[in-house]
Chains A and B, each alone.
Chain A
Amino acid sequence: MRIWKRFEWFDAVNYTLLLLICVIMLYPFVNVAAVSFSSYSSFLENPMMIWPKQLSFAAYNQILSHPVLLSSYTNTIIITVCGVAIGIFLYIITAYPLSKKHLKGRNFFMVIVIFTMLFNGGLIPNFYLIRELGLLDTLTALVVPMLLSGFNLILMKNFMESLPEELEEAAKMDGASEPYLLFRIIVPLSMPIIATLCLFTAVGYWNNFFNAVIYIRSVENWPLMLFLREIIEGARMQEISGANAAEVGKNAVVPETLKYATLMIVMVPILCVYPFVQKYFVQGITLGSVKG
């Protein structure tokens, strides 16, 4: 009985703590949603609201009619879909041979992979590279540099190493070729790690803005996150860093409701991806990281 009571107390504290953490995590999202559907005057009255006041879609109307939103949205979808599809394909065909212990020079290739996790060329050499490849101001420049991450590759390799060798041996005895083995046996078994990496890379592509700052010149090629950053931070950055007050244009300062509506439009699609891959997510990470 005493043990039961102790557990009850422990659970109560646990639940309270978890609930508190949930509230802390959810509050900013709820606040952003509430403000985005409220009038600007009600935001000024109560910026910390959790429920819309004076329900208004004005901010959404305004942001959805912005000329750059559609093109940047399209660009981000193209970048994300292409980046994920090509990236996952590359992870599979790179990780599979590296997972074979009998591969000659495996350690050498692994050192090369790990080297890229520790060192890189830096901003200007990368810029030179992209320029010399003729990729400046193209969406390719936003996809290719992020296609293969050493960390993700190691996760995938470790996962494939953890698969029972007997399965491969059985397939080989039945006459399966290496590509058949990879795509018909290994890949279906690797769904947890593939789903996990899909999520990682999709979020990475979706959220990336810095490559666009560096490599993209035309507004038509801006990704969504760069557009969002301009909306949220544009005038604010100048002002906070001590800009000339006389030249802070009132039109350059974007109302908070508009910023929050933009945030919602940008956040919601990528949030929707999580439920679909969640069942694979934890399994993928743990399985991939156990065996080294």
Chain B
Amino acid sequence: MKKTWKGAFALTAAAAMLFVTACSGGNGGNAGGNNTSANSEKEQSGSETLKIKVMANHDQATLSASDKKWIEQMEKDMGVDIEYEIPPVTGYQERVQLMLASGDYPDLVYFPGTNDQSFVNAVKDGLIVPVNKYIESAENIKKYTYETSWNALKVQQDENIYGIPRTTVIRNDAFWFRKDWLAKIGFDIPADSEITVDQFTEILTKFTKDDPDGNGKADTYGLAAGVDGNKVLQPVLTSQFGLLGWQKTEGGDYQYLDATYDRKSDAYKKALDYTARLSGEGLLDPDAAVNNAVSARERFWRGITGVMGGFAGHYSWHSTELKKLNANADLTYLFVKNETDGKVAGQGFGVGLWGFWGITSTAKDPQKIVDMLEYYLDDANYETMMNGYEDIDYKNENGKLTVADNKEEAPVRRNTMRRAGDIQIYFTAATPQEEIDMSKPWLEKSVNTVVLSKNLDFMPEASKKPNFMDYKKTWDQTIMSIVLGQTPVDKFDELLDGWYKNGGEEYVQEMNAFIEKSEGASK
């Protein structure tokens, strides 16, 4: 017993020593800074070098060789020292809140959206500064940013712009179809990649009922679907019935209205009715009500469903996954035409912002920070920014470019700044030419057929009021119920009346005031 307890105390003492040693070593002394500066080992030759602290949100918190090389190059070219803090993706929001509360601000912070509460509060508190005067000389940023993005960043409803957009392509996403299944059911793919709503329905029906995988079992379904972030299954087709977000009305009570809230329009009811019909006929994935985006996609890859909504630049991703299970599987991308005028048009995702960069009030040299972001878009650096470096990101074998061995992702290089409308970013130097030739027309069509909603992601104050937020639950439950065919579509009229009574009226008025102002400003 004596030996046992001597051992136990020895263990405790050893643990305490280990604890002290482990905790005081390594990065322990680096509490205020970060590990990820590519130049951390570089000797500081004096106090002249400007240090830029960046708080970024990327898929990986470690810097790859490609990222390090890019940052080193940027530091050398710009004469700055860049220090990155990349918190875990799953805790970014908390870290931003803490950073803002702590008073220890980096120079540049990534925010996911203009409605992000941390950002809104930071602007109100003067912690994020307007960038208007700093972007005057940033020709590339001005040239390659959507006007809607700038407008969305005027969050105080004045001329001040509170961030530099991380631009993403504004596009009208369509649907991936199993090409091998289409061949099986005898459907000829149109050269212009456009089909009607009736053809869409016909394909879904045949994919569900005609055994397109040829296994002799009725185990396939038309459309992959899943609930959104609010756990609601949304209508499958929207723009095809005239739902294009907030647009100018032709007379009526309001100058601008989203057809969803237009009592005189039956566009949303048609969209609901269509999805309810698909659901009732079993053409939707039967797990749609419990799927999320990830599980819906996996079921598409598994060959349970044959059609899935998605981005036109993801051919190699989806086809690679499909081929893991079925080497003969292939894909094509089709747009569903508007029911009324037979044209392809769809509401774009957001306002071209894939988040944005805010400059904090403690930044020593905001102009230099904007110049750093400008560096990404400069012609001299853009190709490297997109494709990376030979032998790190790609290799050149007798003129043919292929993906480098052990290639790592380089989010700092590739995902910090983007050029508006540039679809080339979705290919790399190593993307096969055949894939580019095939995907480019789809990408171009998705960019060219986009219709911008005039609300610019603006969130009226009315939407934050308790009655409005409470009614949102009723709204979501009813929409889900209608879409699943459990509630008649006509119930929507009652739902909409309730919405107007529970803050919707105020919401629409505020939105109209905002759009009038932003439309006036953009003219």
Binding site for B on A (CB under 8 A): 40-41, 44-45, 47, 67-68, 75, 78, 81-82, 84-86, 88-89, 123-124, 127-128, 131, 134-140, 143, 183-184, 187-188, 210, 213-214, 217-222, 226, 229-230, 233-242, 244-253, 256
Cβ of B87: which chain A residues have Cβ within 8 Å of it?
A: 213, 217
B161-204: which residues lie under 8 A (CB-CB) from chain A?
Answer: 168-169, 171, 173
Q: How many angstroms between the C-alpha atoms of A81 and B19 in the bound complex?
A: 9
Q: Flag if B168 contacts A246 (CB, 8 Å).
A: yes
Closest Cβ of chain B: how far from A230's Cβ, in Å?
A: 5
Q: Flag if A218 contacts B30 (CB, 8 Å).
A: yes
Q: Flag if A137 contacts B415 (CB, 8 Å).
A: no
Cβ of B438: which chain A residues have Cβ within 8 Å of it?
A: none
Q: Flag if A234 contacts B31 (CB, 8 Å).
A: no
Q: Flag if B302 contacts A246 (CB, 8 Å).
A: no
Q: Flag if A81 contacts B18 (CB, 8 Å).
A: yes
Asked if B459 is at the interface of the complex by the 8 Å CB criterion, the answer is no
Asked if B521 is at the interface of the complex by the 8 Å CB criterion, the answer is no
Q: Flag if B59 contacts A249 (CB, 8 Å).
A: yes
- The answer, among A124, A136, A219, A249, for a CB contact under 8 Å with B101, is A124
Cβ of A143: which chain B residues have Cβ within 8 Å of it?
A: 19, 23
Question: What is the chain B residue whose CB lies nearest that of A88?
Answer: B12
Closest Cβ of chain A: how far from B16's Cβ, in Å?
A: 6
Q: Interface-forming stretch among B130-138, B263-271, B306-314, B393-401?
A: B306-314
Closest Cβ of chain A: how far from B358's Cβ, in Å?
A: 19
Closest Cβ of chain A: how far from B171's Cβ, in Å?
A: 7
Known: A85-B12, A237-B90. A137 touches B27 (CB 8 A): yes
Known: A128-B102, A245-B173. A86 touches B19 (CB 8 A): yes
Cβ of A226: which chain B residues have Cβ within 8 Å of it?
A: 88, 91
In this complex, how many residues of chain B approach chain A with their Cβ under 8 Å: the count is 66
Cβ of A221: which chain B residues have Cβ within 8 Å of it?
A: 26-27
Cβ of A230: which chain B residues have Cβ within 8 Å of it?
A: 61, 88-90
Besides A44-B298, A131-B31, A246-B169, 17 more A-B contacts (Cβ < 8 Å) are A78-B22, A123-B98, A127-B98, A127-B101, A127-B102, A135-B31, A138-B23, A139-B19, A139-B23, A140-B23, A188-B5, A237-B89, A239-B294, A244-B349, A244-B354, A251-B409, A252-B59
Q: How many angstroms between the C-alpha atoms of A250 and B94 in the bound complex?
A: 26
Known: A244-B350, A245-B349, A247-B354. A85 touches B16 (CB 8 A): yes
Q: How many angstroms between the C-alpha atoms of A89 and B14 in the bound complex?
A: 13
Q: How many angstroms between the C-alpha atoms of A25 and B62 in the bound complex?
A: 36
Q: Flag if A213 contacts B311 (CB, 8 Å).
A: no
Q: How many angstroms between the C-alpha atoms of A124 and B294 in the bound complex?
A: 34
Closest Cβ of chain B: how far from A202's Cβ, in Å?
A: 12
Asked if B32 is at the interface of the complex by the 8 Å CB criterion, the answer is yes
Cβ of B33: which chain A residues have Cβ within 8 Å of it?
A: 217
A-contact 0/1 string along B5-36, CB 8 Å cutoff: 10001011011101100111011101111111
Cβ of A237: which chain B residues have Cβ within 8 Å of it?
A: 89-90
Q: Flag if B293 contacts A239 (CB, 8 Å).
A: yes
Q: Flag if B229 contacts A242 (CB, 8 Å).
A: yes
Asked if B256 is at the interface of the complex by the 8 Å CB criterion, the answer is no
Q: How many angstroms between the C-alpha atoms of A159 and B313 in the bound complex?
A: 64
Q: How many angstroms between the C-alpha atoms of A226 and B14 in the bound complex?
A: 26
Question: What is the chain B residue whose CB lies nearest that of A183?
Answer: B5
Question: What is the chain A residue whose CB lies nearest that of B99?
Answer: A127
Q: How many angstroms between the C-alpha atoms of A230 and B92 in the bound complex?
A: 11
Question: What is the chain A residue whose CB lies nearest that of B28?
Answer: A138
Closest Cβ of chain B: how far from A192's Cβ, in Å?
A: 15
Known: A45-B302, A86-B12, A242-B228. A217 touches B5 (CB 8 A): no
A-contact 0/1 string along B46-62, CB 8 Å cutoff: 00000000000001011
Q: Flag if B27 contacts A220 (CB, 8 Å).
A: yes
Closest Cβ of chain A: how far from B113's Cβ, in Å?
A: 10
Cβ of A246: which chain B residues have Cβ within 8 Å of it?
A: 168-169, 171, 173, 311, 313, 349, 426
Cβ of A249: which chain B residues have Cβ within 8 Å of it?
A: 59, 409
